[in-house]
């Protein structure tokens, strides 16, 4: 039986933090460059970055389907679409963090991400995933 590890796909807090940081920096630009044309360039770049972040956000990894015993490939669910033949090229496991650099064979699509234990819906799934990575060398 294949084990499915579900991840929290909510990025709303990151977007909210990003927008608040950009708004704060726009106030700093407004105060520092009051009577300069750099004020208009700064505001244009800030509005452009907010627009880009809201419309063109990265794909969201929703779940990882671990392979059966002696399987080399695992499945990944990205934006409600399941895709096969994913392998781990690099990984780093530090305490409650896992860095993954995964690629899809055939299409050469890659994903790089840091996963914290808070990203997993079940807190024990990070242990299961780390154990699977280390012991079976996906």
Q: Give residue 85's Cα distance to chain centre.
A: 19
Q: What is the dihedral of CA 7, 11, 12, 18, to 10 degrees?
A: 150
**pLDDT band (50, 70, 90) for residue 91:** very high
Q: What does the pLDDT read at residue 14?
A: 67
Q: What tokens does 45 get?
A: 């770049």
pLDDT digits 0-9 by tens, 28-65: 777 777 777 777 777 787 787 777 777 766 677 888 88
Q: Where are the domains of the chain?
A: 4-9+59-136, 12-55
Coil, helix or strand at residue 75: strand
Question: How many C-beta neighbours within 10 Å does residue 86 have?
Answer: 22
pLDDT tens-digit series, residues 62-90: 888 888 877 788 888 888 888 889 888 99
Q: Which residue has the tokens 């299409």?
A: 107
Q: Do residues 64 and 7 lie in contact, with contact meaning Cβ atoms separated by under 8 Å? A: yes
pTM: 0.64
pLDDT of residue 137: 66
Distance between CA atoms of residues 54 and 48, nearest Å:
10
More confident residue, 111 or 10: 111
């Amino acid at each position: 039986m294949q084990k499915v590890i579900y991840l929290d796909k909510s990025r709303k807090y990151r977007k909210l933090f990003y927008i608040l940081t950009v708004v704060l920096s726009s106030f700093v630009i407004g105060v520092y460059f009051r009577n300069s044309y750099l004020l208009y360039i700064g505001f244009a770049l800030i509005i452009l970055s907010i627009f880009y972040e809201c419309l063109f956000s990265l794909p969201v990894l929703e779940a990882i389907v671990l392979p059966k015993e002696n399987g080399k490939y695992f499945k990944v669910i990205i934006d409600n679409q399941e895709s096969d033949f994913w392998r781990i090229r690099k990984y780093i496991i530090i305490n409650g963090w896992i860095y993954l650099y995964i690629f899809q064979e055939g299409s050469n699509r890659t994903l790089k991400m840091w996963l914290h234990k808070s990203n997993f819906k079940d807190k024990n799934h990070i242990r299961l995933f780390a154990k699977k990575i280390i012991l079976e060398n996906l």
